[in-house]
Amino acid sequence: MRSLFRIVASLAALAVVVQIGFAGYGAFNAVDKADDAGSISKHAVDNGFDPHGALGTIVLVLLLLLLIVSLVARVQVRTSAVLFGLGIVQLLLAWGASHAAWVGFFHGVNAVALAAIAGTLAGNEWRQARVASTE
């Protein structure tokens, strides 16, 4: 069960990093689609962020799965719960940013926290597996 936890943690960490990359794609896609006058339609902006939004749902499902596996395996439950909580906060911040742009700042900062915690968790799990295999 610990190996399943390690794999799900790794997938979650990877998905968060790709999610951040899709946000960058959405931003630069908007710049690319702007005409010479600097205008762009809301539809064009939304299309650039579609992969970001779709993967966001997958990330949240992975974080829920990670929490479930952690509860079953009785490993890293607190960290998994924090990650799932940050995922819920991320969803709320995305919703809030669509109503007040300044909230988007916190959406980005929360994404960095998610990446850091998920990456650290996955890295620690792989390191512990290597140590256990040499013993």
More confident: 59 or 29? 59
What is this structure's pTM?
0.88
pLDDT in tens, 38-97: 677 777 776 778 889 899 999 999 999 999 999 999 999 999 999 999 999 999 999 999
Whole-number pLDDT of residue 114: 97
Q: What angle do CA 88, 126, 11 make, to 5 degrees?
A: 40
The length of the chain is 135
